[in-house]
Structure 1
């Protein structure tokens, strides 16, 4: 098959761009289109090396799910993958990655693969104001934790009852949370500095034409469309702030 490459010039650094690809027949007719996105690098950022695995991790289980602890100084500038899509973790639905606070300014990315979902994010997206305010001594004793999982229990069921009338659930309800751990105290992060990509479960409903990503709004006790990028074919949903997320579509 023929392969064509298109190059775009004069793009802004560190900016996400969206593009659409449409396949047509020899008459120029097609109903198939694919929307994708890509983020440009920073001005001073070189292409990071591809490193498939991140071996310097400790994986533990507890009542709060699986915790992956990244060893200090092991991230570097490579794209890192933590592969937990394995039989021994197939029943787990909540995962936490713990990163040393000194390392969250690294220009690298982490991808976590599990049996239920995947999460990909630039590590610097966790560098919140509270993290930047830490002294080097404080940062050496602190860590940033990012948690993603399928929300369950009575609280999750109560949220699901607020799904707008006429809409159906296409995915589980996901919780995305980040917090700064300093000693015995924990501070929740209210915003991400960069986009996170959550790759949702391949449920049939995500392929509905009007399927979109929704976020639970506590002050209104309902779900509202985020307006952020969602691609059903790649199952990628862009997350820009912590919270509860779900893909909904209009049912018949």
Structure 2
């Protein structure tokens, strides 16, 4: 008779049932499990995969200071085949220390088959609470999930391919993930989740706002402390898109969710987890999807139909700052209203506000059109010397203009201007002029109601880009930088003065000189070894070499010195911004300045606009 030194104890077995065919991964938790331990189910020996202690160390391993791990608290094992019914489970150490747990495991007949493909995230804090998503196949309602023998919390079977849950607390180390359907069938993804001891201790104080629409899409700030770069954020079980992070604030795009209060969880990269219980309230806020028509006269009185979701009886409709009249809520998805008079021409946000205060906004959802009148004089009129025989004219569009009339003079006297040309565009090239000559121009807008007053006049000279010209601010061996009016002009003759032989860095921002022209000569284009990059304070633009060379492949040798590509970048003012937004879907938001970009190829006197930006 041997008196054992060990006293093993079984506390729990998870899962506590499995198929009669065996091969079910189980986790046995208890005390004093020694190396070489046997695990018997109904007298049949199970395969012991590993034995761990409370810190995730493997029994039998040598750890710090040459100390061996003698005893463990967790056994991972694979069941042997068995017969139907509940069976006793016995553990027996090599020194005969034994423990019996009556009816500790049940063998069942299973009918379903399931598999696990992945778990995300695949790591989390030992304190539990990490939201996880399990992807696989064959999941059934009321399925259970075990990670290292610990059942997950708030487990929800989304469909037969997806389960969402939160981890329970566990010891450090890599664990198996097991899903068990109600009939006892299981699938295990071995060594697929790691419990870690975090260093950081993030905390959430509050959210601003702390309520919002069930369809998400709004920006929310999470205020707290100890946030690290690249955290993951969950609202309920749905992961949010993180758009910025500081140690005290995280800004997210709210994910879609169901109505009600949801926990908010922030997870630092080291698995440090912050949890704010019921930190955000999802409400059925109204949502505007479309307005028809989406534009009308400034005087208002236009009947519009608004389609969307979650409209309630008694809702208000606001255009800009003005409330609409005759609002009728026909259903939760349709509202009709009469537009109010607008404050000014241009875009306005459209709001639907339910009685409970829930508010839906369609940014730039409606455009107020000014009454059709004689056009106003074109603004922003400028003349630029283009080459030895050409001057370029540009101006901003005039509302209600059908076309424009250009007048020219050699002296600039008011009585000396003569009609030159008619165009329906806001950019015009006057060519076949005399070299090294100054010309004066002005333009007016015309429609069926009459002509506007003339724009301010402007002048330019042909041949303005000759290197000896006094207009030039700076001259490098390969790049000439000049300015004229509100334009800054860069002429690239040699790529050796470009950064990395391909990047033009423009230090001057767009506040003083709102227009940048980049002229690349034929030789410089064919000298590029990579794509051209133009970097400004607010814009990074990459233009493939193949696009620069387009239209230049078949020109004659004697034309190369007067050929090249011109890129014009203009920062959009309010009027041009409105014009650009009108070509985009309603509800489009601008998060930065807008720029108008044109690119053209000049071959001798012929100018072709590039469709890449045209």
Where is the helix percentage greater, Structure 1 or Structure 2? 1
TM-score between the two structures when normalised by the length of structure 2: 0.21
* Structure number with larger C-alpha Rg: 2
TM-score between the two structures when normalised by the length of structure 1: 0.47
Structure of higher RCO (CA pairs closer than 8 Å, 6+ residues apart): 1
